[in-house]
Chain A
Amino acid sequence: MSGSIVLALRLITAFALYGFLGWALYLLWRDVQKQGLSLANRRVPGISLTVRREGAASILKHFSQPEIILGRDPGCDIPLIDDTVSTRHAQLTYHHGQWWLEDLESMNGTVLNEMPVSMPTVITSGDEIMCGATRLNVALSEDVLIEPTLKLDKK
């Protein structure tokens, strides 16, 4: 009799142990799911750049990707036809909810609002970037970060 009771209890402990582990694994799987959803739903706020160059018409370009490379190379996101611009001159990246400007060790340097850029710097609407002799004006659209849709936990 006692043996059967203890056998049942032993099965319950195995259930409790694997309940713990199963629950942990389930939550980890939910975590992965949530992480994926949150990345999939993340929207990069658009950025518009107006490229002005002496003796040429200004060009307006709009981007929605999180990484933009400026340079003379045709493969760059904004190819700048200017001899004072290096092949890969500077890059704009979106992280931590901000757009950042970073100089890619260009020959003539990158200047933001008349200050040389030596480290990644946050930019905002109305800023003026100088790559060599080319000026770019920055305009940001509304910052949209959509939270993933998740079931509310009942507290």
Chain B
Amino acid sequence: MHDLTQSRLLRWAAFFLFVQSIILTISPAVRERTWDVNYRLAHWIGFFAWIVLISIAHRATIKHLPERDPYLLPAAALLAGWGLLTIWRLDEVFGLRQTIWLAISVLVFTLALYTSKNIGFLRRYKYVLLSGGLLITALTLIFGTNPLGFGPRLWLGCCGVYFQPSEPLKLLLVIYLSAYLADRIGTGLLSSRSTLFFPTLMVTSLALLLLIVQRDLGTASLFICIFTVIIFLVTGKRRVLITTVLALSLALVVGYFFIDVIQIRVDGWLNPWNDPTGNSYQIVQSLLAVANGGTVGRGLGLGSPLLVPVAISDFIYAAIAEETGLAGTIGLLILIWLIITRGLIASLRAGDRFRRYLAAGIVTYLGIQSLLIIGGNLRLLPLTGVTLPFVSYGGSSLLTSFIALFILLVISNNEDNEPAQLDDPRPYSLLAGVLALGLAACALTTAWWAIIRAPDLLNRTDNPRRAITDRYVPRGELLDRNNQPINITEGISGTYTRVYTYSDIAPITGYTHPVYGQAGLEATLDDYLRGLQGNPASLIWWDRLIYGTPPPGLDVRLSIDITLQSHADELLGEHAGAIILMNAKTGEIVAIASHPTYDPNKLDSEGEALSQDSSAPLVNRATQGLYPIGTTTMLPLIRAEFGAEELTDSELNLFYEKLGLHQAPAINMPVSFDTEHNSAKDLRMSPLQASLTAALLSNHGVMPVPRIAMAVNTPQQGWVVLSEENQPLEVIQAEAADEAALSFIVEGKPYWSHIGQANVDKTIVTWLLAGTLPNWSGTPLVLVITLEESNILLAQEIRNNILDAALNQ
């Protein structure tokens, strides 16, 4: 019966791993959306090795432990196989190493079944075992290394093989404590405090040593927890738990102020969003991975768990969450729960006290270590660098886990002995309850990040998955009003890159770049360009489900006329400043220039220099540059509203407010407005604001709503016009506006024009406002030129050229 149960469960496990392996094999085809790819095959080595090794272990347990618990081996084998495949998926070199370690672990496990089924020797040699473990751990103080070359030096290594003595030390500590307490409980000495004095002193000093010398926060706290739980199980006194919890909290507080590693971990835990690229990088990336997994996960090989540092060991839970989702992680947590409950049942059915304490101690060790690292991955607990038993990469960890499994199986194989007497069952139920609550908390937290918080997290600009997606899904193009390309996507799936065919307009249209993020219209129109808006919701849902990406992006048509735009860029040339040519009635921006400009095609090599450049080429001067108005610039508008009246500063200020200079223009791109002026003469405005006020004179006193994104090319309805929510606003009376425009008429031309200058803090700004006359029968246009120099002639030349070109079109 036991054998049948065990073999059936193992078959389910093998089936699970088999299908996972198939998914991993064909994952490149899904990623690149073509069948012509290099399929992943290496991990089948791991799968078949797992089948062979677990069959060996299965036979050995049938032969040697006929009455063993039949759930423990399948659950542990499934965890080990799942971890193995995940490691193969993350890194094939480590996958091969982990396969070798699995072979070693299973062989040790099987050998132990043949030779040392009677684990009584552990009780006899407890001091030898513990001192041996301590000695080897102590050696790491002198000879310790780290396979990565940096970080805590917790390993002993030679010739490419590394071993972490603190892993088996946990198990040795459990053995020692069980044996020591089982020896003393019968003699009635346990009540006296002196009995507990020696182990307490030893464990505490060991933990402190690990913490202070090795900086191994995880193992130190694990030691304290194991010690406390075993003492609690033996004595049944709750004050043991309370004392430890208080002591640990005190240690945390003291450690926070004196030990930098604790401070970093605690800060990263409490406020990860403050420093997402520095000390909290790991935890933020881990949460992003969990969020990307969602409910069903991306599928093995289809997420990007390698973005999380050390995903193979410390953050393997995040990797599993990303690729199997909430569904997979809940299954994983139930597997751990299965091991915990079956282990505790084995403990309660054990024939003597030593075996009972030993089994309970091992369950504690496996359970708390799992909770510590899973909770750390999920920001439920401060991050501690321990491994996830059976799952994480690490030879020492896997070997120790399998020896622990061997001991549990041997203890569960209590053939005919009556269970030893139990004075108080409550500590055992309490332990089971606390571990169950911990696992449930992990499941709920995973659900919180994967479902409720996922949309916010995935839209963070520091989510590197967006840049990876951009390589596999074409981004929508930015086109001018005649569908001439401005920014386009080139390449094939896997190598899509953004190409900026008309790069002089870069300060306005911006860029999208894996390192420098997004700017300009690329940022504000990102939802359309990325296909998250404008596509049917069902398509977005389906692509997210099967590819984990948005659907292909949609093209957006801008109001820019590329001919007039290039004209404006040529005319402005090397001069710093901005030009806006706008349809005075509809608010459509026909040309918009900001100089100095840059070439976004060269961001890879010049990005750093550009962001440091003192002439600020990245800034969109036309909508974000704020320039002093001075006293003469707004003369045409003042004339229209007040005639020749003398105005006080507050009257002028009120008028500027009416013109909308105290608020941001409503347009779907980054804009600025002056928030810190004190009086009207100090007020600054952007060229965009200036063009909106100038439009009043060419549009009978009505201010248009500025527009630059005109339409989006949807798959179902073709080009759909992007509607505006705001309405044009009558600001000054039509007759007064018309009259003022006519009084600034340029001789022999169908437009009015006015030049003003502002001189603030020794910088001179030249403003030119111009526009078609009210009786102009064609498209009404306004032009604003802002120059960061005193150059009236240049302004006039630009005006004549652009307006002649635009009006004769």
Contact = CB atoms under 8 A, between A and B. Distances in A.
Interface stretch (A1-9, A38-46, A60-68, A111-119): A1-9
Interface in B502-546: 545-546
A13 B418 contact: no
B22 interface: yes
Contacts of B22: 9
B19 A6 contact: no
Contacts of B19: 9, 12-13, 16
A4 to B, nearest CB: 6
B296 A3 contact: no
A24 B296 contact: no
A11 B30 CA distance: 16
A14 B296 contact: yes
B20 interface: yes
Interface residues of B, number: 39
B487 interface: no
Nearest to B323: A10
Interface in B270-298: 296-297
B589 to A, nearest CB: 40
A9 to B, nearest CB: 5
A19 B8 CA distance: 11
A13 B16 contact: yes
Q: At the interface, is chain B mostly helix, strand, loop or mixed? A: helix
B421 to A, nearest CB: 12
Contact of B26 (A2, A12, A20): A2
Contact of A16 (B4, B15, B27): B15
Interface stretch (B226-234, B330-338, B386-394): B330-338
A23 B9 contact: yes
B26 A10 contact: no
A29 interface: no
Contact of B23 (A1, A6, A24, A96): A6
Interface in B1-43: 1, 4-5, 8-9, 12-13, 15-16, 19-20, 22-23, 26-27, 29-30, 33, 35
Contacts of A153: 1, 4
B546 A23 contact: no
Interface centre among A2, A9, A11 (most CB of B within 10 A): A2
A16 B335 CA distance: 13
Contact of B328 (A17, A23, A28): A17
Contacts of A2: 26, 29-30, 33, 35
Interface string B336-376: 00100000000000000000000000000000000000000
Nearest to A18: B331
Nearest to A34: B1
A20 B20 contact: no
A55 B5 CA distance: 63
Given A13-B23, A14-B327, A20-B78, A6 B302 contact: yes
A93 to B, nearest CB: 12
A10 B326 CA distance: 13
A23 B30 contact: no
Contacts of B446: none
A4 B26 CA distance: 12
A27 interface: yes
Nearest to B18: A16
B29 A14 contact: no
Interface centre among A3, A17, A23, A28 (most CB of B within 10 A): A17
Interface size class of A (residues with CB under 8 A): 20 to 34
Contact of B71 (A1, A12, A19, A24): A24
Given A2-B26, A2-B29, A5-B26, A23 B296 contact: no
A23 B331 contact: no
Contacts of B75: 24
B23 A17 contact: no
Contacts of A9: 19, 22-23, 299
B547 interface: yes
B437 to A, nearest CB: 19
Contacts of B9: 20, 23-24, 27
Nearest to A14: B327
A18 B33 CA distance: 29
B472 to A, nearest CB: 12
Given A2-B30, A24-B9, A14 B328 contact: yes
B780 interface: no
B546 A4 contact: yes
B41 to A, nearest CB: 16
B706 interface: no
Contacts of B35: 1-2
Contacts of B29: 2
Contact of B13 (A6, A14, A18, A20): A20
B635 to A, nearest CB: 63
Contact of A10 (B4, B13, B74, B297): B297
Given A3-B546, A20-B9, A27-B5, A10 B296 contact: yes
A146 interface: no
Nearest to A12: B19
Given A2-B35, A23-B8, A95-B418, A13 B78 contact: no
A2 B75 CA distance: 31
Given A7-B545, A7-B546, A9-B22, A20 B30 contact: no
B324 interface: yes
Nearest to B543: A3
Nearest to B338: A24
B26 A6 contact: yes
Interface centre among A1, A20, A96 (most CB of B within 10 A): A20
Contacts of A16: 12, 15-16, 19
Contacts of A7: 299, 545-546
Contacts of A3: 30, 33, 546-547
B16 A17 contact: yes
Contacts of B30: 2-3, 6
Contacts of B328: 13-14, 17
Given A2-B33, A20-B9, A96 B296 contact: no
Given A6-B26, A6-B302, A16-B15, A21 B546 contact: no
Contacts of A10: 23, 296-297, 299
Nearest to A10: B299
Nearest to B32: A2
18 contacts: A2-B26, A2-B35, A4-B546, A6-B30, A7-B299, A9-B23, A10-B23, A10-B299, A11-B296, A13-B16, A13-B19, A13-B23, A13-B328, A14-B327, A16-B12, A18-B327, A20-B9, A27-B5
Which 6 residue pairs spanning A and B have beta carbons closest together?
A3-B546, A16-B16, A20-B12, A2-B29, A17-B331, A2-B30
Given A96-B418, A153-B1, 19 more contacts: A1-B35, A3-B33, A4-B546, A7-B545, A9-B22, A9-B299, A13-B19, A13-B23, A13-B328, A14-B296, A14-B324, A18-B331, A21-B334, A21-B335, A23-B9, A24-B9, A24-B74, A27-B9, A153-B4
Interface of A: 1-7, 9-14, 16-21, 23-24, 27-28, 95-96, 153
